[in-house]
Structure 1
Amino acid sequence: MADDTAAEALPSLTGSSAEPFTDGYVGDPAVRDEWDNRYSERHRLWSGQPNGALVAEVADLAPGRALDVGCGEGADAIWLARAGWDVTALEVSGVALARAAAHARDAGADVRWVHAGLAEAALPPASFDLVSAQYPALLRTPDAAAEHALLAAVAPGGVLLLVHHAGMEEHHPDHHTEPQDNAFDPAAYVWPSMVAALLGDDWRIEVDEERPRVVPEGGAGAHHTDDVVLRARRLR
């Protein structure tokens, strides 16, 4: 299990679901604004249900301290909290976090919210028994900052669970059907294979596979039918 003092080292911009998180965003304002705009376009962007790969992969894990990277409207974080995990949930969109905190209050779930980018959040290192990143939109950088931040957050004995849509890494932007500014470029984002390539002998890969996705009803992304699932345990 992670050190119980780790929560004390979390950024001061955190809050609990019993009181709204304090907005002290740390990260790229352009990324925050992009996601705030996307969430603002719809009353609810996602299904409100926990991701199927998360539910399946944590079934055999004893609850401890969990980090939910890119928590969106909070479904995964709330599910983990109600299952006994001590949850910290990180998100760049303040619009999404406000919804997540409200949903958590309604569900009676206690979650610690962090309004920040992953690389900028200054999370306490090696402090989480589970780091879950479900379909994260993590931007690539020359120094692989997001990838290293994911790995650094996992406590010895803990698990990194990274899930993404299968086939997206090989997707090529179609500038004939998509405006240049909106064309999705997979080369700009972090994919499970990139994180797996950084794992050294202090990690053991437990799952690295493509599988059919448990598709929730409603919500963006429901058209994706297959997942890439990477589950790795930090040995020391």
Structure 2
Amino acid sequence: MAGVVLCTLNVRHDSKMVSTLLKHSSAKGAIEIMLKLTATVPQIVLIPDSSKPPALQKTGVIEYEALLAMGSLDFEIRRPNDECEPITLNYTSGTTSSPKGVVYSHRGAYLNSLAAVLLYEMRSMSVYLWVVPMFHCNGWCLTWGVAAQGGTNVCLRVVTAKGIFESISRHQVTHMGAASTVLNTIINAPGVEQLPLLGKVTVLTGGDPPPSMCVTCMVSLRRTVREP
């Protein structure tokens, strides 16, 4: 409701590809490349990994919490004139060819968010572990779905089996989404990295069909769950 179109990008792309996508989306441009073309650069909002505020020395860079503190509760809500207006622009990974852009409408994002929550059996106050990147269809629209259910977001900076098991155990995760390749990583993790599950974790998978061995192993993992 900010009157803008969201454009999430794959951070694994190099700066040239990011610049290409930013220019294609009519965004303000990639920082290093755009500096050569114009003196105006977009503001960078830095989200640090630790609670210690970073030392900001560059002009136009602001820390996330400081940005929030500048906000006002009396902000103007800019509702779309038409529910079919665009709300977000997503690009494919570009694995097999140049990335292709897909536009989501307000209506489409709304319906997909509700469908994901219903299919996922996500109740209120669920705890969702982010493994699917948000540039993938805005995290399969669960960016909005989790918020609609008043859920808690648990984010991973790096996706590893060890980090997934630790996050599930520490934060009592109830839901997570992942492609089958990530599920294989979890299943084949060394025993020292695996932790017993204290409750049921509902997993949503997509992107490609999981192999039969993956499904069998996931059933085996579920049998090791300790009921609270």
Q: Which has the greater radius of gyration?
A: 2
Q: Same fold by TM (over 0.5)?
A: no
Query: Which structure carries more relative contact order (alpha carbon 8 Å, separation 6+)?
Result: 1
